[in-house]
Amino acid sequence: MSASGTAAAGQVEHMLRQVTPGRYDAYEALLRALADPAGGKVWMLLWHGQAGSPDAQYGNMDVDGLGYAPCVTSAQELAASGWSRAYEVVSGRDVARALFPDRWGIWLNPHAPGGGVGIPWLDLRRIATGLDRMPAGPLRLSEPAIEIPQFYALLTQNAHRTSAVRALRRAWVQPALGAPYLAIGLDLYDTSQQSVDAVRAMMQQSIGVVPEGLPVSTVAMSDEYDPVSMWLRANARPFYDREAHAPPAPSSTGQGGYGYPAPRAY
């Protein structure tokens, strides 16, 4: 491994040692180290086959009903683990891209004192697609309590004029790090560029009446991997529904870390 690769692997191990329950800032730093395109390597433990072979298969663990593939963070940790089968060295970003679509996470150094650290599949998705593109979990989601009827009325009016929109849902999202925000779930008839452009214009026409300082974001209801979309599908009735011809009353729902282990395993 190159000197830069060794340094990156060392950064993963350094950040891993900083992670303790409740230290979401340290956990985010670990995710950034794993996502580092210059390195962020992990040693994936192979239960079957050899590295690069068609029959290669990662090991697996089940924790709180979620699946994880065990791995280690260096050659030294590999030796310490006593693993006697094959392994492959891959970047954190590559393994994230491979595992998250099947809802598998990774577990770093399960042999270590304290049991290592689990990275659930939702965070692998953030590594694969860009950490800054999605909020830091675990998320607390609930029905919005803030009263902004002018915004909802204007958005509903503009949605009715935008033929691509089937329905709209809403949630109040409180990330583990960063400011809470209002999420608007977009249920569209299709995701063609024309429809996307029309919906973007709809949001721009509506956002001007939102109180200053209130962040608003959108999420595609068709995204089966997004935790906000998952929560909205399971818990929130539409406040605009073209096919129902009238907005149903909002439902009352509780809070939770939707899609994440509870508590997060360390």
Give the domain ranges of the chain: 3-133, 140-244
Cis peptide before 263 (omega within 30 of 0): yes
CATH number of the structural domain 140-244: 3.30.70
> Sign of the CA dihedral 79, 83, 88, 90?
negative
> What are the structure tokens assigned to 214, written together?
């209130």
- Please report, as a single letter, which amino acid is at residue 21: P
Residues near 188 by beta carbon (within 8 Å), at least 6 away in sequence:
164, 165, 166, 195, 199, 220, 221, 222
Q: How do the pLDDT tens digits run along the chain, 266 residues long?
A: 444 444 445 789 889 999 988 899 999 999 999 999 877 899 999 998 888 888 889 999 999 899 999 999 999 999 999 999 999 999 999 999 999 999 999 999 999 998 999 999 999 999 999 998 889 988 999 999 999 999 999 999 999 999 999 999 999 999 999 999 999 999 999 999 999 999 999 999 999 999 999 999 999 999 999 999 999 999 999 999 999 865 444 544 444 444 444 444 43
- From the list 6, 3, 85, 101, the residue with the least C-alpha distance to 44 is 85
192 SS3 class: coil
187, 168 contact by CB (below 8 A):
yes
Question: Helix %, strand %, coil % for the chain, to 5?
Answer: 35, 25, 40
